Structure 1
Amino acid sequence: MFTGIVQGMGELVALEEKQDFRRHVIRMPADMLNDLALGASVAHNGCCLTVSAIDANQVAFDLMQETLRVTNLGALRLGDRINLERAARFGDEIGGHAMSGHIYCQATVTEVIRTPDNRTLWFELPANAMKYVLTKGYIGVDGASLTIGAVRERQFCVHLIPETLQRTTLGARTVGERVNIEIDPQTQAIVDTVERVLAAQQSA
């Protein structure tokens, strides 16, 4: 489980490409390396990956075909920065909201509104994901737990404070770029359950 509180940004320093497979190596911040071991879970832009090798502050992770298909990790290039969060431990403060590290889909940045002390980003989602997106609800964007500011048709926005802009890659996002989206699991469960109940009633 993750909390959606990005702990640091890593730099992609090496890539190994194979058929429907990628191994990437991240230079991780020193304060995220304590007790890190093979098999540990680390979220990359919100996607849960498993540590496969450790060499000082360079940590390798394997990305399978489904990960490359669903997430934006396959589009990363050397030198790109990645939002990182280690798996939550029992007793940790949940500052964001409970997240699984399973990416539902990607969204495209459609508008960036800059103001002196914050920033608003608008995203477009696939139509089938919009039923889970509610104003003031939670959503995971590239691993950051954020509150949805407003919703319109197939778009939603989030408002970013200076701390989020500094701590995450969201401050560098531009129009046309794609981000990983994790839907709030409680919202998804409620919506899906209501749909099933209504469908059963209509077919009865």
Structure 2
Amino acid sequence: MFTGIVQGIAIVDEISAVSGLSSFSIRFPEDQAHNVTIGASVSIDGTCLTVTRQEGQNLYFDAMQETLRLTTLGKLKPGDRINFERAARIGDEIGGHLLSGHVHSTADIVAIDRPENNCTIEFEVPQAWARYIFPKGYIAINGASLTIGDVTDNRFNVHLIPETLRATTFADLTVGDRVNIEIDSQTQTIVDTLARMGYDRPPS
């Protein structure tokens, strides 16, 4: 499990691709590369991956074809920056909301507004996932726990403070970029339960 509090930014050093599988060598900050065990789970842009080996500050991960298809990992290239979070431990503070690291969908950035000391990013998700997105609800974008702002049909926005921009890769994003989305599990459960009872969410 993860908390959605991004612990830092890592750099993709190398990608090796074979049929149906890509292996990533990712360079972590020195203080975040210690005491990592083989088999540990790490969130890479919101996608839970397993550490397969370590060489110094570089951790290695494998991603199968289904993961590459459902997430943005298949578009990564050497030099790209990614958000990371190591798995939460019992007793850790939950500063965001609980995440599984299982990406539900991707979303496209359709607008970015950058007034002074603020940043608002608008996203468009596939219509099937819009039913789980509510104003002031939780959502995870590239592994970061965020509060949803306005929602219109299958579009929503988030408002980012300078600290979020500093600690994550959101400052790198531009219109047309694609991000990983994990829907809040509690919201999904409630919506699906109500739908089974005949109280489906009305169209926006």
TM-score for the superposition, normalised by structure 2: 0.96
Extract unaligned runs of 5+ from structure 1.
200-204
* Alpha carbons 2:33, 2:58 under 8 Å: kept: no
Q: How many residues align?
A: 199
The alignment partner of 2:192 has SS state of: helix
Match of 2:58 in 1: 58
1:19 to 2:56 alignment:
no
1:137 to 2:100 alignment:
no
Match of 2:34 in 1: 34
The alignment partner of 1:165 has SS state of: helix
Q: Quick check: 48-57 or 25-34, which moved more? A: 25-34
Post-superposition CA distance 1:121-166 (Å, at most 9, x none): 0000000000000000000000000000110111000000001101
CA distance in 2, matches of 1:122, 1:5: 21
Match of 1:107 in 2: 107
Match of 2:202 in 1: none
Post-superposition CA distance 1:73-131 (Å, at most 9, x none): 11001100000000000100000000010000000000000011110000000000000
Match of 2:45 in 1: 45
1:155 to 2:155 alignment:
yes
Greater helix percent: which structure? 1
CA distance in 2, matches of 1:49, 1:159: 28
% same residue: 51
1:164 to 2:164 alignment:
yes
Give runs of ≥4 in structure 1 deviating > 2 Å: none
Alignment of 1:3-18 (within 5 A): 3-18=3-18
Alignment of 1:58-97 (within 5 A): 58-97=58-97
Q: Structure 2: which amino acid aligns with 1:98? A: L
* Alpha carbons 2:120, 2:160 under 8 Å: kept: yes
Offset at residue 196 of structure 1 (A): 1.2
TM-score for the superposition, normalised by structure 1: 0.96
Match of 1:175 in 2: 175
Q: Quick check: 164-173 or 177-186, which moved more? A: 164-173
CA distance in 2, matches of 1:2, 1:80: 22
CA distance in 1, matches of 2:143, 2:70: 14
CA distance in 2, matches of 1:126, 1:17: 28
Q: Structure 2: which amino acid aligns with 1:102? A: H
Extract unaligned runs of 5+ from structure 2.
200-204
Q: Structure 2: which amino acid aligns with 1:152? A: T
The alignment partner of 1:132 has SS state of: coil
Offset at residue 34 of structure 1 (A): 2.6
Q: Quick check: 29-38 or 46-55, which moved more? A: 29-38
